[in-house]
A and B are shown apart, each in its own frame.
Chain A
Amino acid sequence: MKKRGSQIVCESLLREGCNVVFGIPGGAILPLYQTLPEYPELRHILVRHEQGASLAADGYARITGKPGVAFATSGPGATNLVTGIASAQMDSIPLVIVTGQVNSWTLGTDAFQETDITGITLPITKHNFLIMDAADIATSIEQAFYIANSGRPGPVLVDIPRDVFNQEIEYDFVKGAKLPGYSPETIGHPTQIKNAANLINQSKNPIIIAGHGVILSKAYAELKELAEKAQIPVITTLLGVSSFPEDHILWTGWPGMHGMAYASFALEEADLIIALGMRFDDRITGNPEKFALNSKKIHVDIDPSEIGKNINVEVPIIGDVKNVLIEIIPQIETGTHTSWLRRIEQLKDEHPSLKIPETDKLLGRHVIREISNVTEGNAIIVTGVGQHQMWAAQHYRFKKPCSLLTSGGSGTMGYEVPAAMGAQVAAPEETVWSICGDGGFQMTLPELATIVENKLPVKFAILNNGFLGMVRQWQEIFFEGSYVSTAYTGNPDFVLLAEAYGIKGIKVTDKSQIKKAIVDAMEHDGPVLVDFIVEQEDNVYPMIPSGMTVNEIIEENINETVKIK
């Protein structure tokens, strides 16, 4: 049957199970948009900025486990996607991005709105395609979905010139595109699994550090089974938060730059680190030369290039975390580790990292605690980047798998608005709280219009300290309080702003109003924005300065009231 390139794109997307697309039309991609009415099953969500499309697709992908899909036109449309694509690459999020390109016969002539987007995204995608013939569309999109969501997931970009969308070809789809150079290893090597099991059985002070890989492979039950069977304490990475229920007795927080001190010390004191789907990022290791020298390490990861990249390990296992755990668990002896678990409890007592100092002031931490209480740890929490992000990860008690969406590797400010939108589209029945900083919120707030347009009941909590808070904290600690370009003195009234969009706005200036505001927001049918005017110069503790070890950790003196400047 004769089909146009644009029809083949839509049919290929539907065939891959895609039914939501985030995007904005423009000249080069118009032929694809004009085809959308023929495919009503393909829901298009019109965003206000292409960065919103790629970040919303990220939030959507994390919740559904399917690749998030975004459309943009050539040139500036495509380049606006870049921050979201880079974020997805860093956090291993599957995306399939379709960009329009100038007509194929004008490629390379600096035509209007021409940008070499495959060149630009080459180092920040798992793979990308420039399609010069409509006959290649179906195969490339099939491959794009497969590459994006297999092995270590990541973004894939498909760039299609305008005329290729219009090109009419005889179309007969045959599944089974060949990728001779791509076959991710998902089953761990039996010998290494045996070695790992032996190490676990022999260890006295083992600790599990669960990363994003546990969430991506949905190995929640297996992680819990391993931890319970051998009685091993579990810490997570930032992206691994919510891979293990935080009301579990074995949950020991998360380590690293702003992690709980007891988790960092436990990692340091362990004799065996069982690293599952994580990559020994510098926010965890600080100084890799001096990191956890007392322990042997088992490193399970699906990406062979992560093994030995940052830290040398005794037992590397390449494979999908879930598959590997299924193989390991039967070889594990039932354990007790009583004295080690007692030591962990002692560390928790010695380093009460989550204790909030007595104060009447309204702290960002109070807000997170209250949201955690009111939602009973069952909401989907989406954060931006900075102090509020660290407080959210520290003080919200996550009970549900995959319920923290945060930009970890890339640290993309502004993630909180579009990603929350994508998450709410993916899970319309769930409560989605977007925890925002006043800085990041202003980077992507135009998406409020998209949220209203699509009747998405996202709840926004702005922890408004009138500063780029984390940067200010660094200036306070490392630059003698010289606050260069971090004070936001011209912030809008966020409540009025919300109301301008037709969103209910609530302002909170006193600690006593927190709970009511949160309950009111939850009871309101529709999106709500709560502007929490929090203490301006509150800091995130504990803190291990960049490149340092746990011995240089700075902890908060909880007996002192929060300092007021």
Chain B
Amino acid sequence: MSYGKETHTITAVVEDRPGVLNRICSMFRRRGYNISSLAVGKSESFGLSRMTFVVEGDFKTVEMVSKNLNKLIEVIKVFVLSKEHSISRELALVRVNSNVDTRSEIMQIVGIFRGKIVDVSRDTLLVEVTGDENKVDSLVDLLTTFGVQEVMRTGTVAMSRGISFEDRNYKEKINNH
């Protein structure tokens, strides 16, 4: 969670091999940059992963993060996403206290957020919600009234809208390899 600090979203295409995450985290640690969330997963191409970083700091910091990421041999491409031209989502699982009195109210709130109830027990509900960070924050905040036992969040994944010129260039670059 950003707690009101200035954040920027960076995505990177990296080689999918042991030690790459370590190398990247080591760079962040050594240079003193703060990651507020990090998500990693396979990409559309075999042997490549995509990472999304939400980084705390002003634009200059983000520029230096991007340059230092680019410097790592196993990082193939780095994109700094603008908030207006990108979509960002995260997924959260929330275990919230519930009983016969509160269950329907919780389900209503979850419904407003287009979340899902994925598990029900006598005294808890397990809520799944996706959305940008603010939306997830808001739902968790509302649910705290009922007593939140556990929150598990994936961290943000992000993608630019449409297809940028840079993106196209990069696609050609990897296709040539």
Contacts and interface: CB of A to CB of B under 8 A. Distances in A.
Chain B binds chain A: yes
Interface of A: 118-119, 122-123, 126-127, 130, 147, 178-182, 303-305, 307-309
Interface string B30-68: 100000000000000000000000000000100110011
B64 A181 contact: no
A122 B73 contact: no
A307 B71 CA distance: 13
A180 B173 contact: yes
B14 A181 contact: yes
A178 B76 contact: no
A122 B73 CA distance: 12
Nearest to A304: B67
A63 B72 CA distance: 27
Contacts of A119: 22
Contacts of B68: 305
Contacts of B77: 181
Contact of A304 (B23, B70, B73, B177): B70
The 3 A-B residue pairs with the shortest CB-CB distance, nearest first, are A305-B67, A181-B76, A127-B73
Contact of B64 (A127, A180, A309): A309
A122 B67 contact: no
B30 A181 contact: no
A122 B173 contact: no
B75 interface: yes
Interface in B64-107: 64, 67-68, 70-77
Contacts of A178: 177
18 contacts: A119-B22, A123-B27, A123-B30, A130-B19, A147-B73, A178-B177, A179-B73, A180-B15, A180-B174, A180-B177, A181-B15, A181-B73, A181-B74, A182-B73, A307-B67, A308-B60, A308-B63, A308-B64
B144 interface: no
A305 B72 CA distance: 11
Contact of B26 (A122, A130, A307): A122
Interface in B101-152: none
A127 B63 CA distance: 22
A309 B64 CA distance: 7
Contacts of A123: 26-27, 30
Nearest to B18: A130
B114 to A, nearest CB: 38
Given A147-B73, A181-B73, A308-B60, A122 B177 contact: no
A99 to B, nearest CB: 16
Contacts of B22: 119, 122
Contacts of B19: 118, 130
A312 B23 CA distance: 28
A180 B30 contact: no
Nearest to A151: B71
Nearest to B20: A181
A208 B18 CA distance: 44
Contacts of A118: 19
Interface size bucket, B side?
20 to 34
A397 to B, nearest CB: 37
A265 B27 CA distance: 36
A346 B158 CA distance: 59
Nearest to A147: B73
A115 to B, nearest CB: 16
A305 B77 CA distance: 15
A309 B74 CA distance: 22
A147 B72 CA distance: 11
Contacts of A126: 73
Given A122-B23, A179-B73, A180-B177, 17 more contacts: A119-B22, A122-B22, A123-B26, A127-B73, A180-B15, A180-B173, A180-B174, A181-B14, A181-B73, A181-B74, A303-B71, A304-B70, A305-B64, A305-B70, A308-B60, A308-B63, A308-B64
A122 B19 CA distance: 10
Nearest to B71: A305
A178 B177 CA distance: 8
Contacts of A181: 14-15, 72-77
A310 to B, nearest CB: 11
Nearest to A181: B76
Contacts of B64: 305, 308-309
B24 to A, nearest CB: 11
Contacts of B173: 180
B71 to A, nearest CB: 5
Interface centre among B19, B64, B67, B73, by most A CB within 10 Å? B73
Contacts of B23: 122
Contacts of A179: 73
Nearest to A305: B67
B41 to A, nearest CB: 18
A306 B77 CA distance: 19
Contact of B76 (A147, A180, A307): A180
Nearest to B30: A123
B115 to A, nearest CB: 38
Nearest to B70: A304
B131 to A, nearest CB: 32
B60, B67, B68, B72, most chain A CB atoms within 10 A: B67
A130 B19 CA distance: 10
Contacts of A305: 64, 67-68, 70-71
Contacts of B72: 181
A309 B63 CA distance: 10
A123 B72 CA distance: 11
Interface string B157-177: 000000000000000011001
Contacts of B27: 123
A191 to B, nearest CB: 18
A122 B30 CA distance: 11
Nearest to A179: B73
A309 B177 CA distance: 32
B53 to A, nearest CB: 16
B16 to A, nearest CB: 12
Nearest to B76: A181
A307 B63 CA distance: 10
A118 B18 CA distance: 12
Contacts of B177: 178, 180
A181 B51 CA distance: 15
A178 B176 CA distance: 11
A309 B31 CA distance: 11
A300 to B, nearest CB: 16
Nearest to B74: A181
B32 to A, nearest CB: 13
